[in-house]
Amino acid sequence: MARLILLLFITLPIAEIAIFIEAGNLIGFWATLSVVVLTAIIGTALLRQQGMSALRRAEAALRRHKLPVEEVATGICLLVAGALLLTPGFLTDLIGFALLVSPFRHFLGVLVFRHFVNSGRTSIWMGGTRGDDHSSGNDPSCDAGPAPVIDGEFHEVNNSSANKNKSTHSIHDARR
């Protein structure tokens, strides 16, 4: 992975310079410069819109008491897209705009997820805790659905003999 990043840092600027030279020869210097500035402006506007949308979806997931994993992954892709769109260059703009497309982000997320799972450096827990026997997902009782609701009453009991400022709480089962 480190070699791939090093290779990108070396080859990407060289490719961008070559494309700038060819675009300048083809459409002229000012047109090339205008296209680069225009893509940065359009990319920033799209990034702002999609970033706010991802933030709202993450907040909604948190309100539903769910981890916003997909929303965080989307946010990371949008952050990278923003950095690439603000970097002058046609290849970086192409990659940045691709990261703004939701199906491409999903495809990329699947590839990254598979890479981490296949590398053996990732553990996936399907509920429970690490020491819990039910966390493996092999126990059929884990799929039994939601736990039963127990109706009860709550009474506050003051403990005057120990300390008048402290109180204990007890829950009485209403079925008795």
pLDDT in tens, 29-41: 999 999 989 988 9
- If you average pLDDT over every residue of the chain, what do you get? 78
- Averaged over 70-91, what is the pLDDT? 86
Angle at 96 between CA 95 and CA 100, to 5 degrees: 115
Containing 62, the helix (H) or strand (E) segment is helix 29-63
- Record the pTM: 0.60
> Exposed/middle/buried for 50, CB within 10 Å: 0-12, 13-18, 19+?
buried
Percent residues over pLDDT 70 in the chain: 75
